[in-house]
Amino acid sequence: MIVQNVNQSLRTNKNYSRPQQPAFKRNWAEHASWGANYIKETGKTNFKLFSFPDAKAVFVEIADKAVAGLSNIRERVVHILGAAGTALAITSVHSKDDESKVFPMEKKDGGIFEAKDIDAKPEDKYRYIIVDKNSDITIVKDPYAKKQEDIHGWSSVYNPDNYEWKNTDWLKGKDSRRIVRKPHEPLRGLKNLVIEEINIPTLSDEGTFEKAKAQIDAIAQRGIATAIELLPVENTYSQQWGYDGVDKFAVNEKLGGAVQLKELIDYAHGKGLNVIMDMVPNHMGPDGDYLAQTGPYESGAGQFGAKLNYEGADNRYVRDWMANAALWWANEFKVDGIRFDMTKETASDYLLKQIVEELNEHNPMVFTIAEDGRDNKLSVTRYDDSDNTHADKLDFIDMNIEFIRSRNWKTTPQAIGFDSEWDFPLMHAVKTAVIHNNQTSLNEIDKLLHTSQHRIKYAMSHDEIGNMDGTRLIPKVIAQYLNLFANMDGANDAEKGQKAAQLAQKLAEVMLTNDNITSTELAKIQSDYGSSVFYDKKTLKNALKAALAKQRLAQGTIMTIPGPKMFFQGDDRAEIAPFKFFREFSDEKAHRAQDPNYAKNIIQKKGYDTLEEIARPDCVVGKIIPGGSFKDASEQMVLYNQELQRVIAENPALQEGEIISRYKDHDKLIHIHRLQKDNNSIVVLKNFSDGFYDKNYSSLGFPKDGNWVEIFNSDDVKYGGGGKTNNERMITDADQNMSIAANSIVILKKV
């Protein structure tokens, strides 16, 4: 492999010299020194910036927070004093008026600029003035800004003493509910992670950290999830999903800012919930990105925004910048874990390894999760078992990157070391098997079960919901159950698919909430959405019952595989509020006013308008309240998940057992897996078909080594099922006949 040749070359090539390192190393003081750092003892602020290595000069401009009407970051507001001509020697920079002060920054090696003991206090505004090699001036916000109220404006000096943490036992590791990467008593390991993925803007009408506490209460009270994962809160223009962040250290002020985020995390810890922060190392958002004007941080345009310069020229401090962002979220906001968005798109596994090494060194209890998407590439979660020091490991990364960059090679380390990763292949297999009753997916589930135990298992995330058509699993099942796509009008398949999805969403809402709707009203709804076929109330009720059963089946399939699991907000209570992609750019309203086709094109593609103020209100959890025949649907789904978690807690084989055998019946779409932990033996049967079966399962290889009793059945009437259970009847070697309802899961225990 090339990576082996690289490592060998680094050891033996006498002509290769290590890249020259600055006087400082990556110790904690150096990590914490970047950006604007207020020193409480002196009442002064230190500033530190990595900019273009060939920049002539950098200045920091300070303005009092009370000053109104300060100019936008795009405008030049300085006077330059110096000799004219091409050899311009900048001697000083002054503001146009007395509303701000400008201070020179001392140039260090490699593009580092520092200014110490500057008269600036928390909440004061600041920005950098960069004089490049051609004597052109650029005015930019701070790439290390820890508070950024306007994505186009001034940065603010951050107050490091803005919050006093209350749940200190949790932070010290004295609360046994805390989950850590290296489990030791009384702390727990990732095997106990049950994550509820949440989006702050859709947890309440207001969409703020403060108002999200009510849902945190509800999550804790249900007792199903052991952790919450926040979609990114990196600073953006609007309330949105958060993956368009442009200020990687700053909290989105529209959600409530840093103090309210700390309060929310502290509050969740007090309720016994671990908190995972989602961050985006693979791209910059397209709105408010001035990073390329600051220094060599970016490497060109990507699909979702600018890509970052992790392995190009002058990459060292770009990697440090992103690693420091991860350290910032871990230290300042006391999160228990960090999930990294689409890590393969960083185009640098060395950057990923550096982030993991830095977190493991400075925050050894904080666990790391990758969303990688490279079909469970082994190196993503493989650990580096060497005895090298932290400094040596970082030197290894630096040297490898410089070595391969000089030769235009592309290699990766053999061990990145994330603690877990999202299991993309298993998710796709489970989702397809549940929605489409697919034999191929049954094979995939069977193949992937034994490799998924250390990975995050889930049936649907925000991506599978919002990146498609904004509909959750229940409406998706209804669309497939009714074969809506085949009966929709539309100019092309994309339009027909979107219409089918939106009709399924509407029908799910109507049937879940309104028993009294008339056939005439139903016909109008279906006609308005473009259906050429009429589905009566009985058919629609059966479709909804099947969808609820499949929701239970999906949850059960994921939960009965040992190791960490995840579900999307509200899936544990049959939530059907859509989760649409929504955002608003700072110039979007003006753009829409000039282009009448702007919104129309979005709707044709997505099936809905993505403007934040239009799409977000539809997505708030709890807005669709079950009624009529399905009035107990939410409570039944909660009970189902609660009792499933109880069964898991009572059986070590379901927590950390070994999968010792697997069976499948392609004709019946039934899959069985057996788990063993010491004397605890469990068999899980899953029926992915719409048919009820009552038969002898010994032909599938069902174990004949003892007696078994049913301890859980998703078709129990108390969960909203049809009641086709085995009534806790003993299954013996002599009598292996048992029932398994359509779209259900059954758990048996050896007795």
Question: Do 477 and 569 belong together in one domain?
Answer: yes
Close Cβ partners of 677 (under 8 Å, ≥ 6 residues apart) = 651, 652, 653, 655, 656, 657, 658
Q: Does 141 map to a domain?
A: yes
Alpha-carbon gap, residue 113 to 109, rounded angstroms: 8
Question: Do 140 and 219 belong together in one domain?
Answer: no
User: pLDDT per residue over 661-707, tens digit each?
Assistant: 998 888 889 999 999 999 999 999 999 999 988 766 666 556 778 88
CATH of the domain at 709: 2.60.40.1180
Q: Does 15 map to a domain?
A: no
Question: What is the arithmetic mean of pLDDT over 151-171?
Answer: 95
Please tell me the predicted confidence (pLDDT) of residue 64. 84
**In 3-state terms, what secondary structure has residue 626?**
coil
Question: Do 202 and 315 belong together in one domain?
Answer: yes
Cβ atoms of 407 and 3 closer than 8 Å: no
**β-pair type (194-198, 227-230):** parallel
Question: Do 254 and 391 belong together in one domain?
Answer: yes
Residue 337 Cα to chain centre, angstroms: 11
User: 62-81: buried (b, 16+ CB within 10 Å) or exposed (e) per residue?
Assistant: bbeeeeeebbebeeebbebe
CA distances from 731 to 112, 265, 557, 687 (A): 72, 47, 22, 18
CATH of the domain at 260: 3.20.20.80
- Residue 456 DSSP class: B
Close Cβ partners of 50 (under 8 Å, ≥ 6 residues apart) = 34, 110, 111, 112, 113, 143, 295, 317, 318, 320, 321
Q: Does 444 map to a domain?
A: no
User: pLDDT per residue over 287-336, tens digit each?
Assistant: 999 999 999 999 999 989 999 999 999 999 999 999 999 999 999 999 99
**In 3-state terms, what secondary structure has residue 60?**
strand
Please tell me the predicted confidence (pLDDT) of residue 2. 36
CATH of the domain at 38: 2.60.40.10
User: pLDDT per residue over 457-484, tens digit each?
Assistant: 999 999 999 988 999 999 999 999 999 9
Q: Name residue 624's amino acid.
A: I
Strands, E assignment, 609-669 = 658-665
6 pLDDT higher than 60: no
**In 3-state terms, what secondary structure has residue 186?**
coil
Alpha-carbon gap, residue 216 to 269, rounded angstroms: 10
Q: Mean pLDDT lowest for which of 200-214, 368-382, 402-416, 685-699? A: 685-699
Question: Do 200 and 100 belong together in one domain?
Answer: no
Report the greatest alpha carbon distance in the chain. 100
- Residue 485 DSSP class: G
- Structure tokens belonging to residue 274: 């671990």
Question: What is the arithmetic mean of pLDDT over 255-281?
Answer: 98
Question: Do 147 and 185 belong together in one domain?
Answer: no
Alpha-carbon gap, residue 707 to 550, rounded angstroms: 29
Q: List, in sequence order, every residue forming a beta bridge with 307; answer none if it has no partner.
A: 300
Question: Do 122 and 196 belong together in one domain?
Answer: no
User: 134-165: buried (b, 16+ CB within 10 Å) or exposed (e) per residue?
Assistant: ebeebbbbbbbbbbbbbbbbbbbbbbeeebee
Report how many domains make up the chain: 4
Q: Mean pLDDT lowest for which of 271-275, 481-485, 639-643, 661-665? A: 661-665
Please tell me the predicted confidence (pLDDT) of residue 254. 97
Alpha-carbon gap, residue 372 to 380, rounded angstroms: 8
CA distances from 510 to 291, 486, 526 (A): 48, 22, 12
**In 3-state terms, what secondary structure has residue 620?**
coil
Question: Do 675 and 623 belong together in one domain?
Answer: no
Q: Does 151 map to a domain?
A: yes
Q: Does 1 map to a domain?
A: no
Question: Do 362 and 239 belong together in one domain?
Answer: yes
Percentage of the chain lying above the pLDDT 70 cut: 91
Question: What pTM does this model have?
Answer: 0.94
Domain with 499 in it: 461-630
633 pLDDT higher than 80: yes
- Structure tokens belonging to residue 645: 């978690």
pLDDT, the chain, mean: 90
Please tell me the predicted confidence (pLDDT) of residue 382. 93
Alpha-carbon gap, residue 199 to 679, rounded angstroms: 41
Nearest to 579 by CA among 658, 475, 486: 475
Q: Does 22 map to a domain?
A: no
**In 3-state terms, what secondary structure has residue 139?**
strand
- The last residue of one of the domains, among 422, 445, 480, is 422
Please tell me the predicted confidence (pLDDT) of residue 438. 82
Question: Do 271 and 127 belong together in one domain?
Answer: no
User: pLDDT per residue over 55-113, tens digit each?
Assistant: 999 999 999 876 655 555 445 445 555 544 444 556 677 776 677 888 999 999 889 99
Alpha-carbon gap, residue 246 to 26, rounded angstroms: 24
Question: Do 465 and 407 belong together in one domain?
Answer: no
- Structure tokens belonging to residue 220: 């804790």
User: pLDDT per residue over 573-587, tens digit each?
Assistant: 999 999 999 999 999
User: pLDDT per residue over 215-252, tens digit each?
Assistant: 999 999 999 999 999 999 999 999 999 999 999 999 99
Output phi, psi for 748, to 5 deg.
Answer: -115, 145
Q: Does 644 map to a domain?
A: no
Alpha-carbon gap, residue 554 to 430, rounded angstroms: 7
23 pLDDT higher than 60: no
3 pLDDT higher than 70: no
- The last residue of one of the domains, among 123, 156, 189, is 156
**In 3-state terms, what secondary structure has residue 459?**
coil
- The last residue of one of the domains, among 394, 422, 450, is 422
Q: Does 2 map to a domain?
A: no
Question: Do 466 and 379 belong together in one domain?
Answer: no
How many helices (H) and strands (E) in the chain?
21, 30
Q: Mean pLDDT lowest for which of 135-144, 159-168, 185-194? A: 185-194
527 pLDDT higher than 50: yes
